[in-house]
A and B are shown apart, each in its own frame.
Chain A
C-alpha cells in the first residue's frame, strides 16, 4: 500500500516552540524546503517565563501531507508540540484586520454603517479616511473587505490566524 490520493483540506498547524533565535526560520524553511504551502502565519511569545512562542500556520494539504508536516515539524529541535486542526478537530480560529477606507460623503457614511454591522471599530479617523479594526473568522474579514471595496478601500493589513482547541484540551 503506497501513498493514496486524497483531497486537500484546510488546516491550522499550531506549533509551540522554544523562543530562540532561528526557531521561526527553521519552521518556515521546512515548509518551503519540503514544498508545503503557507497561507498565513502568526508568531508571538506566549510564555515569557518558559521562553515559549506559538506559531500558527494556515495551510491546505491532503491528510497524508498534514501528517508529514506534523512529523517533520515535531522533529525540529526547538519544537515542543504540534497540533494540526482541521474541520474535524473543534477549534477556534480568529484573525484581526486593519482596513483603511478613503471616502467622503455618502460612501463614508455607508462604510461606517457597514462597519457597525460587522462590529468593526474605527481606530483612526481623518476628514477623508477611516481605519477600521475588525476581529473574527477569516471569512468574516473577507466579507467585510469585499464590502469596503466599492466604498474606497485603500489598504488592508491582516494578522493571520491565531487558533486554539475548544474545550479543556491543551497543546
Chain B
C-alpha cells in the first residue's frame, strides 16, 4: 500500500537555494511551536542529531533531558495529565524507541495524549538492519493510538500537525512519529495544520439528545442511583469535573470514582463515596452492588472495578457514557449507551434534568438509599490501627494521612504521583484529592517506575507547585536514575517512599493465594535511600518510628529542593478493604482473618 499522502500547497524547495529553506528538523520544531509545545522530554542519539541541533539553535521550546527513554514518556504523560496539554517526547532510533514502548502503552491504557518522535535510520537504509535500526512503527503499533513512518519530506509538517490532532481529540492517546534522519537533514516544506485531517478519523464528541433523554428518564425514576465516574471526566477538562459536581448536587445522587477519576469530585464531599473496585471503600462497592440505576461516566468497567462479572451490580439499569464507542457493551451489557465527550454528556444531562418534571415515572425517594449508604459508611472500611507511641512502627496508611494533612497545611497546590502497588492504593484511599488533574498514577497498565518520572513531568509543568511521588521502595528503583534529571533541573520533587522492604502487593497476594510463600518478593540489598538522595545532590531523610514521622514530613515539605524521604513502615501491612479476585462486590475482605475464601477460579485471575 502507498504511504500516507497529503496534499500541500508549498512546492518542494531546492536544497540550499535560499536561506529561508528549512530543514526537516526545523520544520518539525516550527510545527511544534505552532502546536503550542513548550517542553520536550527526550534523550539524544545518532538518528536525532539533526533535531537536537535544531533545538540547540532556538529557544522557543525547552528540552528536558531525562535519563531513560521510558521516563521521558512517563514525564510527558504527567505533564499532559496535569496541564491538559499534549505531552511531547523525542528519542533516538532503535533502543531509544524500544525503551518508550512501556510508556506508550501506559499512555494508551490511561488515554493520555502524548506525541512521541523517534529517530529512524535514513530512508535508503530502512530494512537493511542498519545500526540502531528498529521497525519502530511495527513494534509500537499496538501500543499507540496511531503511528507514522514519514518517508517523504513533504509529509513532515502535515503528519506532525495531524499527530497532535489525533493524540488530543476523541479518546486521547499516544501517537508516535518515526522520523528518518535524512528527512531531518534535508530540506522540507512547511505547511499549516491541514484543515481536513485524516479523512477516516472522525471521533464523535457530541452525544445524541435522544439517548441523553432516555438516560435522564431512568435517572428520574431511580430509587437507588449511583454515579460511577472515571478518567474520562479528567480527560474532558476541568469543566467536566465542574459540571459533574453540579450534576451530583442537582440530582442528589451518590457518586463513586475509579482510580483514574479521583479528583473530579472533592474527596470530602458528602455525596462522594470514595473509590470503588478491588481496593475501593465498602460503601462504594456495596452501593455499586445494590444500586438500581448505575450511571457510568467516562469509566470502562475495568476488571479492577467489576470484580466477578456475573455478580457485578446485578439488576441495575445501566447507563454508560464514553467517548470511545468500542467501550460500550465491551465488558458489561448496558441499557443505554451514550457516545460522547464526558463534559458534553454531563452538561446535556444537566439540561435534560432541569427541563424534565421530577415525577415522570415515580417520585424519587432517596432518603432510604442514603440511610443505607450511611450505614455502610459506619463500617469505616479504610480504618487501620496505629499505635501512637513514639517508638511505634509507622503504619503506611497513617504516613499518607499525615502527609496529606501536612501538605494541605502548606496551602500549596499539590500534585501527587505514585508508583504501582500497595502504596498506590493507600495513596488513592488516604490522600484526599479535591481537584482534578492533581493525581498522576498508572492505572491501566500498572507500570512500576511511573511515579518518579511522572513527578519530573508535573514539576516541570508546575514549577511552583508541591509535587510528591508517593512511592514504594521496589517500584521507585525501576526509574531511580531520574534523580539525576531532578538534580539537573533543580526540581523540588519530594519522593515519599513507604519502605516495607517488600514488593508489598506481590507479598500480599502471595500471603492470600500462596500460603505466604514469599517467592522473590523481598526487597533484598536495598540502597541507603538517604545516601542515595545525597549522591544525587538532594536531601535524604528517614523516619523509622512514629516519633520521627511528623518531623521528617515537615522537614521534607519545608525544604526548597528535592528530597527523598525513606519512611520505614510496617512490613506486614496488607491493603484493605479488598475484593479478592473472583469475588463479588458484596464479598469484600475488610481486614485480616478472612483470607481463606478465595476460589480456585479466583486464583487464575491476575
Closest chain-B Cβ to A42's Cβ sits at a distance in Å of: 14
Once the chains bind, are A77 and B325 in contact (CB under 8 Å)?
no
Q: How far is the CB of B70 from chain A (nearest CB, A)?
A: 21
* CB of A74 closer than 8 Å to a CB of B: yes
Q: Is the CB of A75 within 8 A of B325?
A: yes
B133-149, CB < 8 A from A:
137-138, 141-142, 145-147, 149
Within the complex, what minimum Cβ distance (angstroms) separates A23 from chain B?
A: 6
Binds B, one of A25-33, A90-98, A119-127: A25-33
Q: Are B166 and A77 in contact (CB under 8 A)?
A: yes
List B contacts of A22 (CB < 8 A).
1, 137, 141, 147, 149
Q: Name the contact of B326 in the complex, choosing from A1, A21, A29, A75 (C-beta under 8 A).
A: A75
* Interface contact A77-B333, CB-CB below 8 Å: no
Q: Who on chain A is nearest to B149 by CB?
A: A21
* A interface, over-half SS: mixed
Q: Does A141 contact B (CB under 8 A)?
A: no
A4 to B333, CA, bound (A): 9
* B324 within 8 A of partner (CB): yes
Q: Given A2-B332, A21-B3: A78 and B200 within 8 A (CB)?
A: yes
Q: Could you tell me the distance in whole angstroms from the C-beta of B216 to the nearest C-beta in chain A?
A: 21
Among B146, B325, B331, which residue has its beta carbon within 8 angstroms of that of A71?
A: B325
B197-216: CB near A (< 8 Å → 1, else 0) gives: 01111000000000000000
A26 to chain B minimum Cβ distance, whole angstroms, is 6
Known contacts A75-B325, A77-B146; is-contact A20 B1 (Cβ 8 Å) = yes
Are B324 and A75 within 8 A (Cβ)?
yes
In the assembled complex, the Cα of A45 lies from the Cα of B333 at a distance in Å of: 36
Q: Is the CB of B3 within 8 A of A20?
A: yes
* B309–A2 CB distance below 8 A: yes
Assuming the contacts A3-B331, A29-B141, asked whether A18 and B326 have C-beta atoms less than 8 A apart, the reply is no
Nearest CB to that of A70 among chain B residues? Answer: B326
B109 to chain A, nearest CB (A): 13
User: A11: CB under 8 A from chain B?
Assistant: no
In the complex, what residues of A have CB within 8 A of residue B1's CB?
A: 19-24, 45, 53
Q: List B contacts of A140 (CB < 8 A).
A: none
Whether the Cβ atoms of A77 and B145 lie closer than 8 Å is yes
Contact string against B for A residues 117-154, beta-carbon threshold 8 Å, 1 for contact and 0 otherwise: 00000000000000000000000000000000000000
Taking a contact as CB atoms under 8 Å apart, the answer to whether A67 and B200 are in contact is: no
Q: Interface code A78-90, partner B: CB below 8 Å = 1, 0 otherwise?
A: 1110000000000
Interface size class of A (residues with CB under 8 A): 20 to 34
Question: Judging by beta carbons under 8 Å apart, are B326 and A71 in contact?
Answer: yes
Contacts A18-B199, A77-B146, A77-B198; A26 near B141 (Cβ below 8 A): yes
In angstroms, Cα B5 to Cα A17, docked, is 14
A159 contacts which chain B residues (CB < 8 A)?
A: none
* Nearest CB of A to B575, in Å: 26
In-complex Cβ contact of B200 among A18, A25, A33 (8 A): A18
Identify which of B4, B166, B199, B309 contacts A21 (C-beta below 8 A).
B4
Contact string against B for A residues 54-80, beta-carbon threshold 8 Å, 1 for contact and 0 otherwise: 000000000010011001101101111
Question: Taking A3-B333, A77-B166 as contacts, is the C-beta distance between A51 and B5 under 8 angstroms?
Answer: yes
- Residues on B with beta carbons closer than 8 Å to the beta carbon of A30: 142
Min Cβ gap A31→B in Å is 11
The answer to whether B330 has its CB under 8 Å from any CB of chain A is: yes
Nearest CB of chain A from residue B179's CB, rounded to whole Å? 15
Tell me the complex Cα distance, A78–B2, Å. 13
B253 CB-CB contact with A under 8 Å? no
B310 within 8 A of A: yes
Contact in complex: A77, B201 (CB < 8 Å): yes
Interface presence of B312 (CB below 8 A): yes
Supposing A19-B1, A20-B2, A20-B3 touch, asked if A2 and B310 sit within 8 A by C-beta, the answer is yes
Contact at B4–A20, with CB atoms within 8 Å? yes
Residues 295-320 (chain B) with a chain A CB within 8 angstroms: 309-310, 312, 318
B3: A residues at CB distance < 8 A: 20-21
Q: Are B2 and A19 in contact (CB under 8 A)?
A: yes
B325 and A74 contact, CB distance less than 8 A: yes
Does any Cβ of A come within 8 Å of B329's Cβ? yes
| B-chain residues with CB within 8 Å of residue A4 when the two chains form the complex | 333
The answer to whether A80 and B200 touch across the interface, beta carbons within 8 angstroms, is yes
Complex interface: chain B residues within 8 A of A71 (CB)? 325-326, 328, 330
Task: Determine whether the beta carbon of B142 is less than 8 Å from that of A67.
Answer: no
Is the Cβ of A33 less than 8 Å from the Cβ of B329?
no
Nearest CB of B to A83, in Å: 15
Are B331 and A25 in contact, CB atoms less than 8 angstroms apart?
Answer: no
A164 nearest CB across to chain B (Å):
20
CA–CA, A20 and B326, complex, Å: 23
7 contacts between A and B (CB under 8 A): A3-B309, A3-B333, A19-B2, A22-B149, A25-B141, A71-B326, A77-B166
- 5 smallest CB-CB distances across A and B, nearest first, come from A71-B326, A20-B4, A77-B146, A80-B200, A2-B309
Residues of chain B touching chain A, judged by Cβ–Cβ distance below 8 Å, are: 1-5, 137-138, 141-142, 145-147, 149, 151, 166, 171, 198-201, 309-310, 312, 318, 324-326, 328-333
